[in-house]
Structure 1
Amino acid sequence: MGMSGYAGGVAMLKGATLIAGPTASGKTARAIELAERSGAVIFNADSMQVYSVLSLLTARPSAEELVRAPHHLFGHIHPSVSYSTGAWLRDVEKLLRDPRLEGRPVIFVGGTGLYFRGLTEGLSPMPDIPDEIREGWRARLAEEGAEALHRLLAERDPETAARLMPSDGQRIVRALEVLDASGRSISSWQRERSVPLVDGAGAEKIVLEPDRKVLAQRISDRFDRMLELGAIDEVKALNSLNLDPRLPAAKAIGVPELTACLAGEISLEEAAERAKAASRQYAKRQMTWFRHQLGPDWQRVPV
């Protein structure tokens, strides 16, 4: 059940380099330059770059970049999968056990803060939730509303209910489904932490902090380049899979916008403007998260 003990038997990785930063901040180039100098292998720490099909739109390293250093965990997950932080940590652990990588320095690079937190702090295990339980509580939320479910949670799990706003439907439903699936409060699950895979104290931790205006221009230029290189073909290939629109890959920036363009609902220019705006908003959320969630032991690097 869940992923408790996923790090069992793996010694914490010492001397790793962690490079975080918002989209289009130059993380890939920095990681590759460092890997070429140090002989390191590069592990992806970006929750969108794990997906196959969407190579351009998720800004995965190009074919030319991939040959400059060994890269792992890029494009290895089919878009029909809803990949989690726990699944990523399990994949990292498998690689750290690989004797072929023994003794090689490791660089983790990406924009997903929760991946970095899980690496250095461990993760609370969580039970697997059967689909029927999840769908059942979602249906009740839609029918009865958050406050009614909060009252129910207060009867069954007063400790967790006291920490949640009565209007926070998503977290209330999450607490109820965990209780249903496991018979245990989500609070008791959260108190357990797995062993971190990376020794945070001994790691070099860098977060790139680009100038806002420069970043906006880079986002714009990069999306134009994605279109030139065939981003529309990627969206056609993804849409041919008939995925559930709620899946992370189906919501990747550029996919909804270019899908609307392909359907004749908006022009290509409008699709590009919307995708660039969505990228700017995403970068802003990433920078806010890094500022508040990554501690003073992270080196802030203006770019």
Structure 2
Amino acid sequence: MNEQNYAIRPKAILLMGPTASGKTALAIELTKQLPVELISVDSALIYRGMDIGTAKPSAKELEQAPHHLIDIRCPSESYSAADFRCDALAAMADIVDNGCIPLLVGGTMLYFKVLIYGLTPLPSSIPEVRQQIKRMASEKGWCALYNQLCDIDPISASRIHPNDLQRLLRALEVFFISGKTLTELTKTSGDTLPYDIYQFAIVPESRELLQQRITLRFEQMLASGFETETRTLFERGDLHTDMPSIRCVGYRQMWAYLSGEIDYNEMVYQGICATRQLAKRQMTWLRSWENIHWLNSHSIEDARDKVLHVLSTKHHR
């Protein structure tokens, strides 16, 4: 691509990071300095009525800095990475038409990947293969199948939680159908993003600090009425733990507590552990990410200044 064509691409800012790293605070700070509009890149924030457990920006924050793609689905509805790409591209085009820069902020790394590189041509699901995998699971246990995935495709396995049976099933299915791993196939992508993108990741100084933040935030969620919020969803009667909304970190553990499967203290412990595991998977994605500028969450002002400095230089795809 020649210099002239590159120069006319609109800018887009991508702000990533693990859960509880300060992404929202930095994004709001950037709205005070730049002509940006925010787009949420979060597979949990799309759901209405799931505010506390998803750490959704507060009403005050949303008034100060409105986000696209928040509260766009009922928890009973599905939403795919393909849906996100379509919605995000439409929102980005509208933002550019308004004379602003799209600022995409969130922690759902698969959404960022699909947005940048396009949709991967994966084989369609085959019911017979799925049933075969489920039979293997009933005989050997899902743990054995996860270990099998670790041998076949260690990169995908590092990004999939052993209890995320849907993604584990899909990764094995893709291999059994195509003979190629998910990692191999995702190197082939569709349409790339037609923007001059600037990518940033905000992270705490240490893993210990991130874990402290996660624990504190989970405790704050509980104090803010997380149990009541989930009970409202629980009592609707049309939601269950096979749905992506209820599999969200925190909600899955609270659901188990409300179902009488675990006690309150165990729910708190499992909720914090699951959130830490999510952050670990997000960091695994980020460490392998290309062309990223690292920001320290110790000072939001310093992180903001670094973003502004990078944006003031030329091309940083």
Same fold (TM over 0.5): yes
Query: What's the CA shift for 1:192?
Result: 6.1
- Distance change (3 Å), C-alpha of 1:193 and 1:274: closer
Q: 1:31 and 2:27 equivalent?
A: yes
Please tell me the residue identity of whatever aligns with 2:135: E
Match of 2:108 in 1: 112
What are the residue-to-residue correspondences of 1:150-229 with 2, within 5 Å?
Answer: 170-174=170-174, 193-199=189-195, 202-210=196-204, 211-229=206-224
- Distance change (3 Å), C-alpha of 1:285 and 1:241: same
Match of 1:143 in 2: 135
Query: What's the CA shift for 1:259?
Result: 2.0
CA deviation map 1:208-262 (0-9, x unaligned) = 1212111111111111111122111221122224324222211111112222322
Query: What's the CA shift for 1:286?
Result: 0.8
Q: SS of 1:16's equivalent? A: strand
Q: SS of 1:117's equivalent? A: helix
- Distance change (3 Å), C-alpha of 1:209 and 1:140: same
What are the residue-to-residue correspondences of 1:1-303 with 2, within 5 Å?
Answer: 14-98=10-94, 101-126=97-122, 129=125, 133-134=126-127, 136-143=128-135, 170-174=170-174, 193-199=189-195, 202-210=196-204, 211-239=206-234, 240-291=236-287, 293-295=288-290, 297-303=291-297
TM-score for the superposition, normalised by structure 1: 0.75
Please tell me the residue identity of whatever aligns with 1:233: T
Please tell me the residue identity of whatever aligns with 2:173: V
1:138 and 1:173 in contact (8 A); partners too: yes
CA deviation map 1:181-223 (0-9, x unaligned) = xxxxx99986863322353xx3221111212111111111111
Match of 1:183 in 2: none
Aligned residues: 262
Partner Cα distance (1:196, 1:37) in 2 = 28
- Distance change (3 Å), C-alpha of 1:30 and 1:274: same
Query: What's the CA shift for 1:265?
Result: 4.0
- What's the % identity of the aligned pairs? 33
- Distance change (3 Å), C-alpha of 1:171 and 1:254: closer
Match of 1:150 in 2: none
Please tell me the residue identity of whatever aligns with 1:49: L
Q: SS of 2:33's equivalent? A: helix
Partner Cα distance (1:209, 1:98) in 2 = 30
TM-score for the superposition, normalised by structure 2: 0.72
Partner Cα distance (1:128, 1:251) in 2 = 23
Partner Cα distance (1:63, 1:236) in 2 = 21
Query: What's the CA shift for 1:84?
Result: 1.5
- List alignment gaps of at least 5 residues for structure 1: 1-11, 147-162, 180-185
Q: SS of 2:32's equivalent? A: helix
**Farther off after superposition, 137-146 or 238-247:** 137-146
Partner Cα distance (1:57, 1:39) in 2 = 30
CA deviation map 1:244-286 (0-9, x unaligned) = 4222211111112222322344332331122111111111111
- Distance change (3 Å), C-alpha of 1:53 and 1:241: farther
2:47 and 2:72 in contact (8 A); partners too: yes
Partner Cα distance (2:232, 2:276) in 1 = 25
Query: What's the CA shift for 1:26?
Result: 0.3
2:122 and 2:174 in contact (8 A); partners too: no
